Amino acid sequence: MTESLSFIFLNAVLANNFVLALFLGLCPFLGVSGKLNTALPMGLATMFVMLVSSVSAYLINIVLVMFEIEFLRLIAYIAVIASAVQLVEMALKKLSPALFRSLGIFLPLITTNCAILGLALFQTFKEYNFTQSLVYAIGAGVGFILAIVLMAGLREKLELSTMPSITQGAAVSLMLGGLLSLSFMGFAGLGG
Amino acid sequence: MSKRSNDSITWGTFSEGLWRDNPVFVMLLGMCPVLAVTNSAINALAMGLATTFVLLASGALISLLRHSIPKQVRIATYIVIIATFVTIVDYAIQAISLDLYNALGAFIQLIVANCMILGRAEAYASRNRPLKSFTNALGMGAGFTLALLCLGVVREVLGAGSLFGIDLFGPRFEPWVVMILPAGGFIVLGAWLLLFEWLKQRKERLELEAAAETR
């Protein structure tokens, strides 16, 4: 693998943005993007879990390959991610109970955020080394924060405008997501 | 809880997931595969069937074990059970059709992270008898497959001018490429939701008018 670190980073943030181009992590993207001041902490929490699980997944993969039990990869990864989420949950409960309450059910649901499992799987498929995995995880996290914060900003503006009654609910959020995704396609030439 | 009275399996147990509580259109669960693999009808169908299998198998097993799983570690247990079945599906699809496996990519393994399956395990399978959970899971799986097909068909017809790989419009059709791209997934799903909301509001309005006339 000869991909440079900056290429991996830009690729994960813009050209192959996890949310808008690869469709990973849509549940929190649609669920928690109502307000800016919950979207940003959610993004940061997700990024932290991404980092922890990326490092753990790298180490676990070495062990799995050593014992030739790759078929256990999925189960091992998801167990690690679940523990990492538990860690974040406990830390957040101690540090900021108010934030903990406002994130609500979406915090434990980071476990089933496919962006995180996807990250762990992709870095294994692409055979990234340790530094590359780390940069990939940071890029994916930054990309996720970027997408969710942009979306939250758009939806806050939307609250103030008059819309036809049938657009209540998720339909307009999805349309907005479509437009965002369309604009992110403009970055496609950067990575590939 | 009066256990006896709600043990019976009715048509509603099955049809709940198919329409009224459709996991995709109503509950907005499991969105990632819904948008990611529906760029052609055949991919959508395969994904729907794979998810249905995992839903059925994990629902039945969790329901069987519901009295022996300790409450504190239930989520972890469910995840491990689901991951086991997903691994089975992953290897099965690889054995059946390598083309399909490559088209679906990592999204087969990502069925583990489909919140719909965990949600069903937590909300339904852990509280009901195996047969009832199985019926409900069948309905949910059918509803999920139906929703995937709804998206897959629209996107393939508009974006490639074909259906299940069969050319529909002849060589002079200019494909609407954006429909196959990621943006198209968001927009088509948004359009379906708009349509359903419109139908719902129209029905409510008609019922209101009918009630006003009879008065």
Can you give the pLDDT at residue B5? 41
A192 occurs within a structural domain? no
Of A74, A170, A182, the CB nearest to B193: A170
Q: Are residues B197 and A178, on separate chains, in Cβ contact within 8 Å?
A: no
Residue A129: which domain range? 5-183
- How confident is the model over A113-125, as pLDDT tens digits? 788 888 888 888 8
Quick one: average pLDDT of A62-88? 84
| Tally of helices (H runs) and strands (E runs) in chain B | 8, 2
Written as six digits, the tokens of A8 are: 């991996």
Is residue A171 exposed (0-12), middle (13-18) or buried (19+ Cβ within 10 Å)? buried
Q: Is A92 on the interface with B (CB under 8 A)?
A: no
Q: Are residues A79 and B29, on separate chains, in Cβ contact within 8 Å?
A: no
A95 occurs within a structural domain? yes
Indicate whether this complex's ipTM tops 0.85. Answer: no
Global pTM value: 0.83
Question: Do the beta carbons of residue B86 and residue B33 sit within 8 Å?
Answer: no
Map out the domains of chain B as residue ranges. 13-156
Can you give the pLDDT at residue B75? 78
Q: Are residues B90 and A118, on separate chains, in Cβ contact within 8 Å?
A: no
Q: Is B198 on the interface with A (CB under 8 A)?
A: yes
Question: Do the beta carbons of residue A33 and residue A151 sit within 8 Å?
Answer: yes
Instruction: Evaluate if residue B100 carries a pLDDT over 70.
Output: yes
A191 occurs within a structural domain? no
SS3 B162: strand
A190 occurs within a structural domain? no
Query: Nearest C-alpha of chain B: how many angstroms from A177?
Result: 6
Instruction: Evaluate if residue A142 carries a pLDDT over 90.
Output: yes
Task: Give the whole-angstrom CA distance, residue B11 versus residue B44.
Answer: 26
Instruction: Evaluate if residue B154 carries a pLDDT over 80.
Output: yes
The count of structural domains within chain A is 1
* 140-159 in chain A: CB under 8 A from chain B: none
Whole-angstrom CA distances from B2 to B5, B94, B183 are 6, 46, 48
A135 occurs within a structural domain? yes
A188 occurs within a structural domain? no
C-alpha torsion sign, points B80, A58, A19, A85: positive
Mean pLDDT of chain B: 83
